[in-house]
Amino acid sequence: MRQDAIRRVVIVGGGTAGWMAAAGVSRILGDMPGLSIELVESEEIGTVGVGEATIPQIVLFNTMLGLDEAMFMRETRATYKLGIEFVDWVRPGHRYVHPFGSYGLDMKGIEFHHFWLKGRELGDTTPLDAYSLAIVAGLQGRFGHPRPDQPGSPLSKLGYAFQFDAGLYARLLRRLAEANGVRRTEGRIVGVDRDGESGHVAAVTLASGARVEGDLFIDCSGFRGLLIEGEMQAGFEDWRDWLPCDRAVAVPCANGGERQPLTRSTARAAGWQWRIPLQHRIGNGYVYASEHLSDDEAAATLLANLDGAPLAEPRFLRFTAGHRRRAWVGNVVALGLAGGFLEPLESTSIHLVQSAIARLLTYWPTRAFDQREIDRFNAAHVEDYRDIRDFLVLHYKATERDDTAFWDYCRTLPPPPGLADKLAIFAANGRIFREHEELFTETSWLSVMVGQGVRAGGYHPAADLLSDAETLARLGHIRTVVAETAHLLARQDDILAHYGCTL
């Protein structure tokens, strides 16, 4: 065994990030000889308590943990998610869906959307949505699992995620982590001891006087960044100029009607409202810019736009868009809200926790803490945030809305350089380039560009391999296959009932 191996891991915080870290690290490294993992959390301080919608990568995380899907759905009161429906974002009355999975069927190596663009030039006005199984099925309340073994079917190109009760998910992860040997300590951290020579955190002290020592500290303390900012002063890159929303008001309401496997985002005067259907309730919230809207107005708008009776008092949250300049400093690694925050418009925060855990496991340090590796970790962290920021800004930038000062600001804001480049390339030739390992695929960029009304100036010349008549016939055939496949899928409510969920 290496003499410089990390022996004591301390996770600070027991929100979604803390318990994901505890479950993930203990699952992969739990059997390492001499390794102990301790999680400290304070019920008195509590968790942020929101964060219910995810993206498809969560399926991989749950699989890595060995979770049975039906059990997971029952325990977290989860529903399936096939995409996000954007309402009123381009202009009031407009809607589109950003689906998981891709559009159309295999077109001999050329991206499907070039044939769709050609079809439009030929006068076929069918929206892109009609070529996505996720969208057609999702809007009908239907769900099916991807079938990569059926390459000719739109099911082969499907992706899916979950919408769940974050508190119940944390509870489930805690059970797994504790079964893997993670020790939980309840208590409020009131002090931090540093090593005089290295500057590393040596221990945290609790209000009870107890001292928890560690070699590696994973800071999951939420927005406050207890260790990463409070002690290590990592610095915060403030992006509120790009993303001016800085508050949210959240309230759950009673479930009414069938559960569509879709998150909904509706643009409002100074931001947008989320709607996340779970088994037992609907999660709702209004994300808004305090410069343009008061808390009272936000709460009134939210309460006036619920699909059922409110089940709690509205809860207000404050945040600033941006990220820690360094997510890893010395022997402290920040995950979750301690590492940064981007509004939940594309449900990316839990994914950022997951990808940081994967990266930490890849770069798992020794007590020597190689600075070159830490620098790489930090560079990747910044890239993740920047890529997602650009994608989020696209939603605000590409709009016709000019009905409020908020939308005027967003619409006329010069886009970040990466986004400006993507918009220009798409506007010229209908092409989308996915940078390095950015989270959002060509399909996602396409969906939101087209959905938000960005026009492509041309299509791939190879789309002319099919004659005009063949192009229109092929497009019609794909639409039919998508519609027929969707119709054969079960209703999500029936699937949940089959799992033994109480609806």
Q: Which residues bind ligand FAD (CB under 6 A)?
A: 13-18, 40-42, 45-48, 50-54, 166, 188-189, 220-222, 224, 226, 248, 250, 285, 317, 319, 336-338, 344, 347, 349-350
Q: How far is CA 325 from CA 9, 192, 206, 235, 283, in A?
A: 23, 21, 28, 5, 32
Ranges of beta strands (E only) in 291-423 are 315-318, 322-324, 328-329, 332-334, 340-341
Task: Assign 455 to helix, strand or coil.
Answer: coil
| Distance separating alpha carbons of residues 76 and 403, to the nearest angstrom | 40
User: How many whole angstroms separate alpha carbon 159 and alpha carbon 448?
Assistant: 17
- List, as one string, the DSSP characters of 192-254: EEE-TTT--EEEEEETTS-EEE-SEEEE--GGG-TTTTTTT---EEE-TTT----EEEEEEE-
Distance of closest approach, residue 123 Cβ to ligand FAD, in angstroms: 40
Phi-psi region of 93 (alpha: psi -120 to 50; beta: other; left: phi over 0): left
Rounded to the nearest whole angstrom, what is the least distance from the CB of residue 193 to ligand FAD in the complex?
A: 15
The SS3 assignment for 99 reads strand
Residue number with CB closer to ligand FAD (15 or 154): 15
For ligand FAD, which is the closer residue by CB, 17 or 65?
17
Q: Which helix (H) or strand (E) segment is 414 a member of?
A: none
DSSP secondary structure string for all residues of 25-89:
HHHHHTTSTT-EEEEEE-TTT-------B--THHHHHHHHTT--HHHHHHHHT-EEE-EEEEESS
Rounded distance, CA 136 to CA 436, Å?
Answer: 31
- Angle among Cα 289, 294, 296 to the nearest 5 degrees reads 130
Nearest distance from residue 16's CB to ligand FAD, in Å?
Answer: 4
Q: How far is the CB of 150 from ligand FAD (least distance, A)?
A: 30
Q: Which of residues 54 and 443 has its CB atom nearest to ligand FAD in the complex?
A: 54
What does the alpha-carbon distance between residue 61 and residue 81 come to, in Å, rounded to a whole number? 16
Residue closer to ligand FAD by CB (options 352, 456) is 352
Smallest distance from ligand FAD to CB 172, Å: 14
Q: Give 107 or 228: the residue with its C-beta nearer to ligand FAD.
A: 228
Task: Give whichever of 188 and 479 is closer to ligand FAD, judged by the CB atom.
Answer: 188
Q: How far is the CB of 377 from ligand FAD (least distance, A)?
A: 18
Which listed residue (81, 118, 397, 422) is catalytic? 81
What gap in Å lies between CA 331 and CA 365, rounded to an integer?
9
Token output for 184: 């939980």
Question: Catalytic: 81?
Answer: yes
Q: Which residues contact 137 (CB under 8 A, 6 or more apart)?
A: 82, 143, 144, 261, 485, 486, 489
> What do you get for the CA distance between the two ends of the chain, in Å?
51
Q: Compare residues 115 and 160 and give the one whose CB is closer to ligand FAD.
A: 160
Question: Which residue, 210 or 497, has its beta carbon nearer to ligand FAD?
Answer: 210
Residue 1 identity: M
Q: How many helices (H) and strands (E) does the chain have?
A: 14, 23
Name the minimum Å distance from CB 395 to ligand FAD.
15
Q: How much helix, strand and coil, in percent to the nearest 5, is found in the chain?
A: 40, 20, 40
In angstroms, the CA 74 to CA 86 distance is 28
50 vs 107, which CB is nearer to ligand FAD?
50
Shortest Cβ 92–ligand FAD spacing (Å): 24
Closest separation between CB of residue 217 and ligand FAD, Å? Answer: 12
Q: How far apart are CA 36 and CA 416, in angstroms?
A: 43
Which residues are annotated as catalytic? 81
